[in-house]
Each structure stands twice: as C-alpha cells, then as structure tokens.
Amino acid sequence: MKRFYFQKIKWCALFAVLIFASALIVSSQVVFAADSPKYVFLFIGDGMGLPQKMAAEKYIGKKLVMNSLSAHGVTTTNAADRFITGSAAAATAIATGMKTNIGFIGMDSNQKPLKSIAQIAKEKGMKAGIVTSVSIDHATPAAFYANVPSRSQYYDIAVALAKSGFDYFGGGGMKDPANKRENSLNFQGDALELAKKNGYRVVTKKQEFLALKPSKEKILAYNEWLQDGGALSYALDMREQDISLAEFTAKGIELLDNPKGFFMMVEGGKIDWACHANDGAASIHDTLAFDEAVKHAYDFYKAHPKKTLIVVTGDHETGGMALGFAGTRYESNFKVLNNQSVSFQRFGDEILAEFKKKESNKVFDAIKPLITKYFGLKFDGGTQDSMVLQSYEIDRLKSAFERSMAGDTEEKSYDPEVYLLYGGYDPLSITLTHILNQKAGMAWTSYKHTAVPIATSAAGLQAEAFNGYYDNTDIALKIMSIMGSGDKPVYEKQSQNQTAMVQGR
C-alpha cells in the first residue's frame, strides 16, 4: 500500500505540474511572476512624446521598434513644484520613484538623497551602465548616479560619476571635470583623473572603442568630437568617424553581460535639444537613432526572452510639436523634410559662421543658395512646387536674416514678440526649420517642454506591468518591484501624483 501511495502521489504531482504549466500557457502571461529579469534596460527619449514618435514613424513609413513592444502605457510627467516638468525632476522620478522639484538630481523635495534603480542593481551584484547622446553629466544620466540639489553642479556630478563604481559610461563628455565653471567648494581634483584613479579606462577613439572586449576594467567612453555642450552630434550631422548612440548601446550590452546580469539606462538626449529649437528633421533623425539603440536591446531580448526586461519611456514632450499646421490644413508631406541635410545647430555653427566671415555677404541674396542647398527651399519656380517659398515666407526669412547678421541672440531679444518668433535661437536657422516643418504639416507652440503625458512601452519579463495609465514615478517603482527590490519598497510612495498635480503651477 505504501508503495502504491507513493506512486500515486508521484503521478499526481507530474500530472498537476503539466496542467499548471498548460494553464499558464493558455491564460495570458503572468504579471509579477517570481523570477526577476537578469537584464534590465531603461530607455529614456528626452523630450519624446507621442508627436515625436509618430513623426519618426510617419517619416520612415514603418512602425518603430519601441512602438512594437508588447506593453504600452500613458505616463504623466509633472514635477513636485511645476506642472511642466524639467529633465532633472523627471529623471529623478524615473530613476528613484520619487517626485521632486525642478532642477533636483537624485534628491527629494527636501533634498534628501535618493537611491536610483542603477544603484540598487549594483547593490544586488548586477553591473550598471549609463549611455546618453548628450554629456554624461547631464540631468537625465546624472539622476542615476548623483545626488545634488542643482543640475548645474557639473563638477560635483562628475565626481559622483567617478565614485559611482558603475561599470560602463558611454556617449557624450563631461562639461566641467576640472571645476572651472562650477567652483564647487568640495573640490577633489580633476574628475576625469579621479575616474582613472578609481579604475576607469577612458576611451574616445572609435577604433579603440569598437575593439573593447569584456574585462574587469570599468569603461568611460565618449566620442572624440563633441558637437555642442559636450554632446554627440545630432544624428542628422553624424559622420563616419563618430560613435553612434546605437553603437554605444551595443557595446554596453557586450561589456556588461555577466552571470549576475546588468541594468543599463540609455538616453536619447538630443531629441529634446532638437525640439527646443523646433527642428523637426533633427528631432526625427534623433528619434530614429534612439530607436536603433532600442533595437539592439530588443534583439538581445529575443535571444534571452525569459531573462530580459526592456522599458522605453520619455521624460516629457518638448516644443508642443503637432502633426498638423494651420497653413497646410488637413495635408501632410513629410517627404519635404528630406531636403534638410544639416541640423539647425550645424547650419548655425558651421555654414552660417563661415558665411558671415565675408563682408559682401551682408545682403539677403547672398544667403539664398545656401538656403536652397541645405533646406531645399526655393526662391523661384512654379506654383506646383511646394518647396517654392511664398512671398510672406520670404519676408519672414529676410527679417530673420537681418537679425542673424546683426548677431541677435536670446540675450538681446527681450521683446516678447521677438522671443515668440525665434525663442532665443539664431533667427535665420529657426525660421528655416519653422518654414520647412510647416510645409511638411508639422508645427510647434513652444521652445520649452510641455505637460502632455508621454507614452511608455515595454517588452520581456513582466512587461505587462507597464500597461496602464500611471505616473513617471511608477516606472521606477515597477522596475524596482520586478527586480525584486519591491518586497519592502525602497521609498514609501506618497500620494505624490495627485498632490503634485494640484500643487504644480
């Protein structure tokens, strides 16, 4: 009898396991299973709302990788003290699960330091990597390894980086490693030297970078040539010898992979900068470059489907980009954006700067060939050709050209009406992108961020948790919970969302 009983239980157990497994397969995926992902990716498109994603999708005529993930949510973004958030407060929310004030990095509203997902990953024995297309000490990346009350403390942030112990930093450079601008009272020597002393190998040459192999060395890599503010080029301006955001991401995966897994944050930071400047083509190309980075993680996920979680979000929308313009009514023609071959930044920094050197160029006629060459806008031609400028558009360009040649910038444009036109940017460059965007059927309302919710998507282990309507702080809390740090939440979540929404100006 005893033997029979034992056999019966054995049979039953086998049968039950089979039934249990098939039930799980038949039903939808299990939310919050016991297993934690070994590989966690968090992608943040800075300034990337739904308009930015849809513009890029329309431009290439096929679905973005980030829009193809299995889970999708709508995410509110407000800061603790303002309805329209900033990158520091938003990144702190996404990195730590806590609402904070504008400008704060890794600290709550009372300046209490907070622990980020990346730091939690390190504590769990995972490796951690931070990648961005802007400077590596910029607000978004900084919120994952630094704790300072002002995002402008670039030296202090660089020191925090050097002391972070994170395994991989890739993308843009440092803005103030020598404490020349910040004049921090807590000077600890050159931050780059400190990083080296702490075991970081600094790599800037593309060949050397591409040849990197996994080792015990920590890596701090940035592209040799940096375009503006210590950042990578706009994707539209990228040259063969530059390391792209996708390459920094792919190398990160290669270097970080290890038996204990890793957490990697990748920021598409120049989407935001392009949108501040209302440059639609630059925004689209940087969104596509960001999506290419996502694709590397997605391919990795397909190879490790049961061990990987990918979350793709934005920190806020920038520019009030809309896929419709009064002048073009119901029509769109995104193909005209193909005519733009340089970003507003490169046009101003290189082409216009060179042009201004010649005294005889002070007349509007002189700039016309360059406008046609770099933006495709024509001064003559039939009415059939949508690239031929209308007389009122030429008037706008003429006024902008005159202001550009006079060297007007934000400092000089206190006149609110002038600010509405140019937002403190080079007047000619921004008028060119405005006009070209409008011909595409795309328009803008601001040179700053806006408060419309953004979209989050996710794939992989427990990705279903990212379906729904939730706050940006929930992104961190969900990831922490999924990573197994959620049993006793690191930070008790206050009823932040509602409070902040009411309080936020």
The residue within the footprint of a copy of itself, chosen from 6, 35, 62, 125 (CB under 8 A), is 62
Asked whether position 31 contacts a copy of itself by CB under 8 A, the answer is yes
Q: Return d(Cα 455, Cα 444) in angstroms, integer.
A: 19
| Cα-Cα-Cα-Cα dihedral sign, residues 486, 491, 494, 500 | negative
Residue 243 and residue 207 in contact, taking contact as beta carbons nearer than 8 Å: no
* 43: nearest Cα among 377, 460, 468: 460
Beta carbons within 10 angstroms of residue 402's beta carbon: 14
Instruction: Provide the 3-class DSSP secondary structure of residue 50.
Output: helix
How many residues sit close enough to a copy of itself to count as binding (CB under 8 A)?
Answer: 82
Residue 303 or 326: which CB sits closer to a copy of itself? 326
Residue 12 or 406: which CB sits closer to a copy of itself? 12
The residue within the footprint of a copy of itself, chosen from 259, 382, 407, 416 (CB under 8 A), is 416
Shortest reach from residue 198's CB to a copy of itself, in Å? 37
Stretch touching a copy of itself by CB under 8 A, among 39-47, 63-71, 286-294, 378-386:
63-71
| Per-residue contact string for residues 435-464; x = within reach of a copy of itself by CB under 8 A | ------x-xxxxxxxxxxx-x-x------x
Residue 18 or 353: which CB sits closer to a copy of itself? 18
- 185 HSE (CA, 13 A, CB side): 0
Q: Return d(Cα 274, Cα 276) in angstroms, integer.
A: 6
Instruction: Provide the 3-class DSSP secondary structure of residue 48.
Output: coil
Residue 70 or 198: which CB sits closer to a copy of itself? 70
Shortest reach from residue 284's CB to a copy of itself, in Å? 14
* 275: nearest Cα among 328, 322, 333, 227: 322
Q: Return d(Cα 93, Cα 105) in angstroms, integer.
A: 9
Site for a copy of itself in 3-22 (CB under 8 A): 4, 8, 11-12, 15-16, 19-20
Site for a copy of itself in 188-227 (CB under 8 A): none
Asked whether position 170 contacts a copy of itself by CB under 8 A, the answer is no
Site for a copy of itself in 298-317 (CB under 8 A): 317
| Per-residue contact string for residues 261-300; x = within reach of a copy of itself by CB under 8 A | ----------------------------------------
Site for a copy of itself in 121-140 (CB under 8 A): none
Q: Return d(Cα 157, Cα 210) in angstroms, integer.
A: 27
Residue 201 or 398: which CB sits closer to a copy of itself? 398
The letter for the amino acid at 347 is: F
Residue 43 and residue 296 in contact, taking contact as beta carbons nearer than 8 Å: no
In angstroms, what CA-CA distances link 416 with 29, 64, 136, 420?
54, 38, 34, 6
Asked whether position 498 contacts a copy of itself by CB under 8 A, the answer is yes
Beta carbons within 10 angstroms of residue 339's beta carbon: 18
Asked whether position 420 contacts a copy of itself by CB under 8 A, the answer is yes
| R_g (Cα) of the chain, nearest Å | 25
Asked whether position 495 contacts a copy of itself by CB under 8 A, the answer is no
Residue 54 or 351: which CB sits closer to a copy of itself? 54
Site for a copy of itself in 472-491 (CB under 8 A): none
* 308: nearest Cα among 297, 295, 318: 297
Instruction: Provide the 3-class DSSP secondary structure of residue 216.
Output: coil
Asked whether position 63 contacts a copy of itself by CB under 8 A, the answer is yes
Shortest reach from residue 220's CB to a copy of itself, in Å? 32
Tokens of 90: 């938003």
The residue within the footprint of a copy of itself, chosen from 41, 45, 47, 67 (CB under 8 A), is 67
Asked whether position 54 contacts a copy of itself by CB under 8 A, the answer is yes
Q: Return d(Cα 317, Cα 91) in angstroms, integer.
A: 13
Residue 186 or 445: which CB sits closer to a copy of itself? 445
Residue 365 or 415: which CB sits closer to a copy of itself? 415
* 334: nearest Cα among 211, 438, 427, 223: 438
459-476 b/e (C-beta count within 10 Å ≥ 16 → b): bbbbbebbbeebbbbbbb
The residue within the footprint of a copy of itself, chosen from 50, 178, 212, 366 (CB under 8 A), is 50
| Angle, CA of 43, 489 and 104, to the nearest 5° | 55
The residue within the footprint of a copy of itself, chosen from 61, 259, 382, 407 (CB under 8 A), is 61
Tokens of 305: 């489907």
Stretch touching a copy of itself by CB under 8 A, among 70-78, 214-222, 231-239, 366-374:
70-78
The residue within the footprint of a copy of itself, chosen from 42, 65, 80, 84 (CB under 8 A), is 84
Shortest reach from residue 271's CB to a copy of itself, in Å? 16
Asked whether position 24 contacts a copy of itself by CB under 8 A, the answer is yes
H/E run at residue 221? strand 218-222
Q: Return d(Cα 192, Cα 159) in angstroms, integer.
A: 8
391-405 helix and 427-440 helix, angle to the nearest 10 degrees: 160
The residue within the footprint of a copy of itself, chosen from 45, 51, 97, 141 (CB under 8 A), is 51
Shortest reach from residue 184's CB to a copy of itself, in Å? 26
Asked whether position 83 contacts a copy of itself by CB under 8 A, the answer is yes
Residue 27 or 215: which CB sits closer to a copy of itself? 27
Numbers of helices and strands, H then E, in the chain: 19, 12
| Angle, CA of 491, 494 and 499, to the nearest 5° | 145
Site for a copy of itself in 373-392 (CB under 8 A): 390, 392
The residue within the footprint of a copy of itself, chosen from 327, 369, 484, 489 (CB under 8 A), is 327
